[in-house]
Amino acid sequence: MKHHEDLPLAVGGQAVLEGVMMRSPHAMAVAVRRPDGSVILKDEAYHSLAERYPVLKRALLRGPVILIEAMVTGVKALTFSAQAALQEEDGGKEDEPLGWGSIALTLGGAFLMAFLFFGFLPHWLSGKAGFLVGRSLTPADFTFHAIDGLIKLTFIILYIWGISFFPDIRRVFEYHGAEHKSICTFEAGEELTVAKAKAHPTAHARCGTSFILVVLLVSILIFTVFFPLFPALTRRGLGNNFLQVVIKVGLMFPIAALSYEIIRWGGKHSRHPLAHLLLWPGLATQRLTALEPDDSQLEVALEALKAVLAREEYPLPEGRLAGDSLPCAECRH
> pLDDT at residue 1 above 70?
no
> pLDDT at residue 237 above 50?
yes
Rounded-to-integer distance, Cα 21 and Cα 46, Å: 13
Global confidence as pTM: 0.86
- What's the chain's average pLDDT? 86
> pLDDT at residue 151 above 90?
yes
Q: What is the mean pLDDT of residues 86-101?
A: 59
Q: Give percent of the chain above pLDDT 70.
A: 87
Write down the pLDDT at residue 5. Answer: 44
Rounded-to-integer distance, Cα 248 and Cα 148, Å: 12
Q: What is the mean pLDDT of residues 240-254?
A: 93
Write down the pLDDT at residue 108. Answer: 84
Query: What is the phi/psi pair of residue 287, to 5°?
Result: -65, -20
Q: Is 99 exposed, middle or buried (0-12, 13-18, 19+ CB in 10 A)?
A: exposed
Angle made by CA atoms 100, 103, 107, in degrees to the nearest 5: 135
Residue of 324 and 32 predicted with greater confidence: 32
Q: Is 125 exposed, middle or buried (0-12, 13-18, 19+ CB in 10 A)?
A: middle
Tell me the Ramachandran region of residue 207: left when phi exceeds 0, alpha when psi lies from -120 to 50, beta otherwise.
beta
> pLDDT at residue 93 above 60?
no
Rounded-to-integer distance, Cα 179 and Cα 152, Å: 27
> pLDDT at residue 213 above 70?
yes
Element holding 164 (H helix, E strand):
none
Helical residues (DSSP H) of the chain, grouped into ranges: 49-52, 62-89, 100-115, 121-127, 142-163, 167-187, 194-198, 208-226, 238-268, 273-289, 295-311
Q: What is the mean pLDDT of residues 134-145?
A: 92
Query: What is the phi/psi pair of residue 244, to 5°?
Result: -60, -40
In this structure, the number of other CB atoms found within 10 A of the CB of residue 233 comes to 16
Q: Of 94-98, 135-139, 281-285, 327-331, which range is least confident? A: 327-331
What does the DSSP 8-state code read for residue 98?
Answer: P
Query: What is the phi/psi pair of residue 39, to 5°?
Result: -115, 125
Residue pLDDT, tens place only, 215-231:
999 999 999 999 999 99
Residue pLDDT, tens place only, 41-50:
999 999 999 8
Residue pLDDT, tens place only, 263-285:
989 878 878 888 888 888 888 99
Query: What is the phi/psi pair of residue 82, to 5°?
Result: -65, -40
Half-sphere exposure of 240 (CA within 13 A, CB side): 12
Rounded-to-integer distance, Cα 85 and Cα 54, Å: 38
Write down the pLDDT at residue 317. Answer: 59
